[in-house]
Amino acid sequence: MTSYCKIDHVDKIFTRGNTETCVLKEITLDIEKGEYVSIIGHSGCGKSTLLNIVAGLTEATTGGVILEGKHVNEPGPDRAVVFQNHSLLPWLTVYDNVRLAVDKVFGRSKSRAERDEWTLHNLNLTQMTHAKDKRPSEISGGMKQRVGLARALAMEPKILLLDEPFGALDALTRTHLQDTVMGLHEKLGNTVMMITHDVDEAVLLSDRIIMMTNGPEAQIGEILSVPIARPRRRLELVTDPTFLKCRQRVLEFLYERHRFVEAA
Amino acid sequence: MNMPLAKSGITASIALASPATAKVLPLPPKPSVPFARIRATLGKIAASVVPPAVVVALFLVIWEVACRKAGATLPPPSRVVNDAWELIAHPFYDHGGLDKGLFWHLLASLQRIAMGYTLAAIAGVALGTLVGQSVWAMRGLDPIFQVLRTVPPLAWLPLSLAAFRDGQPSAIFVIFITAIWPIIINTAVGIRNIPQDYRNVAAVLRLNPLEFFVKIMVPAAAPYIFTGLRIGIGLSWLAIVAAEMLIGGVGIGFFIWDAWNSSHISEIIVALVYVGLVGFILDRIVAGVSSIVTRGTSAN
């Protein structure tokens, strides 16, 4: 039985000169449609490499990614990425950044007016319509990330890839944006794969948490299901026993069994 | 006037150790807003105009004093103005042949620049893109560019005269070959420095090569390209004067050479002032276009 998105026996070996570094080893993972999966691990464990392989930006050395029964090995809008550093084009306005994606993906299937409407619709989803004529340099980091999210959503991806989307934000902005992402996931039912190193964030947002062992040769160490009903409310979860148990499991994994060892 | 009053009020209150006895004093009336703005603007203009004006005045005085003496080889500024008044006051006269006002000479030079520089800009950006984008093109072409760019502009002139057998295309070629190197090199650096992030965005959106060039490459590399264009325009203006001295005909370079041959030193000085001003204006124009075009990119 094939799943919606299957990461199938992926190995990644980086070769530099004569030295070969095996970053990922035997990664196999099934993601169901509509599922929110987080990948958590210490820095350097290859979780971003894994996301780049799914995005098609990096090629797997062996193995591959199958999305809806099709092998994907090059980048495409069906696997839209929200990059950690937003990656908006600074010479385009907020609107034009999203419109560029909309024009490219729906250039043939939607009329000009429909594309305009779709662009504004997605900016509205992430509450960024008010800044549509501003340039990225004129808005805050959190807002840039919202625009990046709007751009990714506007591509109507089969799977949405979030590469530490809240990593560069302050705690309050991060909370706000997490709520936005959670709300959108409930509303739109996207399949999401998110890279993170924040335990609370992973437990709050995910249906399943994939915990990676330390690199080199990082593997999937443990998979934890988060059986908390949606919609989830941040404040209620603080005292929720399931939430606390899940949180503890991840913390134990990261800080006891697979403690980060600084390279000597 | 107001201050001492307030002060004495405070000291009095301290001395008596009683609750605040300081009087509330009205603020001096503010000048009306538009008036203040005009004054601020005038102040800014003065700050940028007065210092150079002072320096120029000083320079003219020293020059006047130094060249007034008998036996001075160069004319003092007063004589320059006297001798060359015809040139200064009537830049647009045209008595046929080479006997024209400075405007016509400058115009002829600018036309050559326009031709050569436009060709250099197009070819330079294209070649720079190629070198910046392809590792093999860089390996093959970069060493050649590095050698050729050190050849002085005028050294190309005999070769181009031999090839074109005419002054006009030869001068344009010299401009072209002078301006093209900084444009190529800066464009290539700009293209090579396009952040991987933008390339990733382009990859995810599946932009085709043409879309990538227009929508990502050119805007991302624009600050670099314009640096090259600015160096290029400066170099072409340097080269045109020298090239025209050799090829003759109408043009500011030949005008200077002609004036030297007829010992009209004052005319040379006037022409030099014009050459400097026009070069300055050309540089400002490219810088102005650059700041408009790269507004988004460089603000990041």
What ipTM did this prediction achieve? 0.87
Task: Assess whether B40 and B141 both reside in one domain.
Answer: no
Contacts of A197 (CB under 8 A, 6+ apart): A40, A41, A42, A43, A164, A167
How are beta strands A5-16 and A19-31 bridged, if at all? antiparallel
Q: Return mean pLDDT, chain B.
A: 85
> Is the bond leading into B209 cis (omega within 30 degrees of zero)?
no
Q: Alpha-carbon Rg of chain A, whole angstroms?
A: 19
Q: Which residue is listed with tokens 């989307």?
A: A165
What is chain B's percent helix, strand, coil content, to nearest 5? 80, 0, 20
Q: How many CB atoms lie within 10 A of CB A120?
A: 18
Task: Assess whether B115 and B67 both reside in one domain.
Answer: no
pLDDT band at B4 (very low <50, low <70, confident <90, very high): very low
pLDDT band at B22 (very low <50, low <70, confident <90, very high): low
pLDDT block averages, 10 residues each, chain A of length 264: 82 87 88 92 86 91 89 90 88 93 92 94 92 90 92 93 88 90 90 92 93 85 89 87 92 82 55
Condensed to tens digits (0 to 9), the pLDDT of residues B83-98 reads 888 888 888 878 777 7
Q: Which residue is listed with tokens 């996207």?
A: A190
Longest dimension (CA), chain A: 59
Residue B106 lies in a domain: yes
Residue B24 lies in a domain: no
Q: What is the pLDDT of residue A261?
A: 66
Cα–Cα distance for residue pair B236/B182, rounded to 1 Å:
11
Q: What is the pLDDT of residue A178?
A: 92
DSSP letters, A98-165, are HHHHHHHHHTTTS-HHHHHHHHHHHHHHTT-GGGTTS-GGGS-HHHHHHHHHHHHHHT--SEEEEEST
**Residue A24: its H or E element:** strand A19-31
Task: Assess whether B113 and B153 both reside in one domain.
Answer: yes
pLDDT band at B297 (very low <50, low <70, confident <90, very high): low
Q: What is the pLDDT of residue B1?
A: 43
Terminal C-alpha separation, chain B: 49
Task: Assess whether B111 and B252 both reside in one domain.
Answer: yes
Residue B176 lies in a domain: yes
Angle, in degrees to the nearest 10, between helices A94-106 and A112-125: 130
Q: What is the pLDDT of residue A37?
A: 94
Cα–Cα distance for residue pair A154/B237, rounded to 1 Å:
50
Q: How many CB atoms lie within 10 A of CB A22?
A: 15
| Strand ordering across the sheet containing A5-16 | A19-31, A5-16, A62-67, A70-72
Inter-chain residue contact B204 with A136, CB threshold 8 Å: no
Closest CA to A211 of A255, A145, A262, A154: A255
Task: Assess whether B165 and B106 both reside in one domain.
Answer: yes
How are beta strands A62-67 and A5-16 bridged, if at all? antiparallel
- Does A165 touch chain B if contact means CB atoms closer than 8 Å? no
Closest CA to B13 of B22, B4, B25: B22
Contacts of A153 (CB under 8 A, 6+ apart): A80, A122, A125, A126, A160, A184, A188, A190
Residue B170 lies in a domain: yes
Coil, strand, or helix at residue A248? helix
- DSSP state letter for A169: S
pTM of the model: 0.76
For residue B296, which residues of chain A lie inside 8 Å, CB to CB?
Answer: 90-92, 135, 137
H/E/C letters for each residue in B40-108?
HHHHHHHHHHHHHHHHHHHHHHHHHHHHHCCCCCCCCHHHHHHHCHHHHHCCCCECCCCCECHHHHHHH
Beta-carbon pairs below 8 A across chains A and B: 61
Mutate to test the interface with B, among A91, A145, A147 (most CBs of B within 10 A): A91
Task: Assess whether B150 and B279 both reside in one domain.
Answer: yes
**Exposed / middle / buried, residue A141 (Cβ in 10 Å: 0-12, 13-18, 19+):** middle
**Residue B147: its H or E element:** helix B135-148
Contacts of B95 (CB under 8 A, 6+ apart): none
Percent of chain B's residues with pLDDT above 70: 87
Task: Assess whether B61 and B128 both reside in one domain.
Answer: no
Residue B235 lies in a domain: yes
Q: Which domain holds residue B178?
A: 84-91+98-293
Condensed to tens digits (0 to 9), the pLDDT of residues B120-179 reads 999 999 999 999 988 999 999 999 999 999 999 889 999 999 999 988 899 999 999 999
Bridge partners, A162 (sequence order): A82, A194
Residue B116 lies in a domain: yes
Closest CA to B106 of B274, B276, B247: B274
**Exposed / middle / buried, residue B93 (Cβ in 10 Å: 0-12, 13-18, 19+):** middle
Our count of domains for chain B comes to: 2
Task: Assess whether B117 and B226 both reside in one domain.
Answer: yes
Asked whether residue B62 carries a pLDDT value surpassing 90, the answer given is yes
Percent of chain B's residues with pLDDT above 90: 51
Task: Assess whether B115 and B41 both reside in one domain.
Answer: no
- Does A131 touch chain B if contact means CB atoms closer than 8 Å? no
Inter-chain residue contact A100 with B215, CB threshold 8 Å: yes
Residue B274 lies in a domain: yes
| Closest Cβ opposite residue B197 in set A79, A87, A105 | A87
Q: What is the pLDDT of residue A263?
A: 52
Q: For residue B167, is it left (φ>0), alpha (ψ between -120 and 50) or beta?
A: alpha
**Residue A92: its H or E element:** none
For residue B220, which residues of chain A lie inside 8 Å, CB to CB?
Answer: 89, 91
* CATH code of the domain covering residue B159: 1.10.3720.10
Condensed to tens digits (0 to 9), the pLDDT of residues B236-252 reads 999 988 899 888 888 89
Task: Assess whether B195 and B231 both reside in one domain.
Answer: yes
Residues 55-94 of A with CB under 8 A from B: 55-57, 74-77, 79-81, 83, 85, 87, 89-92
Task: Assess whether B63 and B204 both reside in one domain.
Answer: no
Task: Assess whether B252 and B130 both reside in one domain.
Answer: yes
Residue B4 lies in a domain: no
Closest CA to B242 of B176, B155, B138: B155
Q: Using an 8 Å Cβ cutoff, are A106 and A157 in contact?
A: no
